[in-house]
Structure 1
Amino acid sequence: MTKTHSAHTDTATLVRILDAAENMPGAVALRERGYQLLNLKPHATVVDVGCGTGRAVAELAQRGATAIGVDLDPAMLTAARERFPGTDIRAADATDLPLMDGEAHGYRADKVFHILPDPDAAMAEAKRVLAPGGRIVLAGQDWDTLVVDSDFGELTRRIITARADTIPHPRIARTYRNLLLDNGFTDVTFEVHTAILTDASTRLLLAQHAIAARDTDAITAAEAEQWIAEQDHRAATGRLMLAVPMFLAAGTR
């Protein structure tokens, strides 16, 4: 559920984590709902900001859109181009998109705004590239509201809080509706879709949370090891459960 690239996460591991998250039924359904909210006509230009490994760019292109993916991470750009040959993937910042004024009919940012240095500048850039009547869709999680089944309740709370504190804007997703309204978008809608993750591969996501908490000294190395071991056991015995409320906002330029 995250595109945050930790210094302790190599590219191959990050791609596996993203694949695990993106292939979950809830994640697939959320992307489909986002595509519906974009309401794109055939051949309409849509930009996917923070495209990561390029899955959404490829899916939008398959639906007949002229899809452009942008990202700043060289590793993600390489992965996207290798995984989805022929897609339009470009190196660009969310505040300086490679499009002319009003060129885009759709703008999509999925799990991106929480890591941007300046979300307000990114929103201004979204308005610049969108044509009148163009649609914007923002999706993301609130990092304070993850629910993890664990026998170590107090430790789990510390891990979730510590992980959230490593994010530049951990609670921005809950503000998406007001962010669109404050920037003059109309027909604004706001939904929450809770992803329930029980697959064993989810342990990769959870381990990253514990490692981040350990690295910020919010928990000890022994506590991290204990918590990860418990989640590994839950994964091995089919008892793992992570619930992630995902907020989805949409509006018209």
Structure 2
Amino acid sequence: MTKGTGQKRQHADDLIALLDTADRLPGAVALRARSYDLLSAGPGMLAVDVGCGAGRAVAELAERGVRAIGVDPSEPMIAVARGRWPEADFRNAGAYDVPLPDASVDAYRADKVFHELAEPERALIEARRVLVPGGRIALFGQDWDIIVIDSDDPALTRTIVHARADMVAGPRTARRYRNLLLEAGFKDVTVEVQTGVFTGLAMLPLLTGLAEGACSTGAITREQADGWIAEQWARAEADRLFLALPMFMAAATSLR
């Protein structure tokens, strides 16, 4: 294994571990359940979960009687998903080129995906292509400019949040969900916001990642990053950590 390959594998392993931790949080469980309700997911349906990651949603949809296909551009993610749920259908592909025929699925789901896309409009054209007439789409994700963190240094915290947001392809895509769906020709567009409040140790990797990202861009110094991370660890250990994360959920019906 080359050094570059090893680093990619470690990055994938770290990401999977973080996603697993986040997926087990009560708020995340409820959010996924709400996504299935918005899709009217039930027996006999065919759905595609774009950006499926390690495949948890595909497995949960199967429990509802849905035949779900998981699509993800990351080969390590797809390998993990296949290992965990070998009976499920997982395919290595991205949101711009979903490997399905025209008008072939009843539901399209994308969770924490569209902020990674430079061209969300292109992904929605592809979503309309694969959806049957009257099919349902549901998009979920955070607005990276809106992360509420209690800290002794609010100015530094603001700098960290915005610097990390600027590293994302579409940091404010979630606030655009409604307009993006309307402009792509979907109807019956609805938008909901659920805010997760976190006060324990589980979110420390996310907070650490925010500071490390800001440091990597030069927005803050190494000393500032280390000090801010240390403060958040101390808050968590003293049961004083506070993080509020609004999640935007948009759903619509295909006109195609």
TM-score with structure 2 setting the length: 0.93
Offset of residue 11 of structure 1: 2.3
In the alignment, residue 60 of structure 2 is paired with which amino acid? E
Structure 1 residues without counterparts, runs of 5 or longer: 1-5
1:183-202 → structure 2 map (5 Å cutoff): 183-202=184-203
Question: 1:24–1:197: 8 Å Cα contact kept in structure 2?
Answer: no
Aligned to 2:11: 10
In structure 2, C-alpha distance between the alignment counterparts of 1:201 and 1:40, rounded to whole Å: 30
Offset of residue 9 of structure 1: 6.6
In structure 1, C-alpha distance between the alignment counterparts of 2:55 and 2:9, rounded to whole Å: 22
Aligned in 2, Cα 1:78/1:8: closer, same or farther, shift over 3 Å?
closer
Aligned to 1:79: 80
SS for the counterpart of 2:201 is coil
Aligned to 2:161: 160
Aligned in 2, Cα 1:138/1:243: closer, same or farther, shift over 3 Å?
same
In the alignment, residue 113 of structure 1 is paired with which amino acid? F
Aligned to 2:106: 105
Question: 1:34–1:137: 8 Å Cα contact kept in structure 2?
Answer: yes
In structure 1, C-alpha distance between the alignment counterparts of 2:88 and 2:191, rounded to whole Å: 30
Aligned in 2, Cα 1:99/1:63: closer, same or farther, shift over 3 Å?
same
Deviations 1:193-223 (A, max 9, x none): 0011222020001100000000000000111
1:26-41 → structure 2 map (5 Å cutoff): 26-41=27-42
Aligned in 2, Cα 1:147/1:9: closer, same or farther, shift over 3 Å?
farther
Question: 1:136–1:252: 8 Å Cα contact kept in structure 2?
Answer: yes
Across the aligned residues of Structure 1 and Structure 2, the Cα RMSD in angstroms comes to: 1.5
Runs of 4+ in 1 over 6 A off after TM superposition: 6-9
Offset of residue 175 of structure 1: 0.7
Equivalent pairs counted in the alignment come to: 248
TM-score with structure 1 setting the length: 0.94
In structure 2, C-alpha distance between the alignment counterparts of 1:199 and 1:16, rounded to whole Å: 17
SS for the counterpart of 1:201 is helix
Offset of residue 174 of structure 1: 0.3
In structure 1, C-alpha distance between the alignment counterparts of 2:118 and 2:222, rounded to whole Å: 30
Offset of residue 112 of structure 1: 0.3
Offset of residue 20 of structure 1: 1.7
Deviations 1:110-131 (A, max 9, x none): 1100111321111000000000
Aligned to 1:3: none
Aligned sequence identity (%): 54
Question: 1:190–1:249: 8 Å Cα contact kept in structure 2?
Answer: yes
SS for the counterpart of 1:106 is strand
Offset of residue 78 of structure 1: 1.4
In structure 1, C-alpha distance between the alignment counterparts of 2:13 and 2:98, rounded to whole Å: 27
Higher mean C-alpha displacement, 174-183 vs 162-171: 174-183
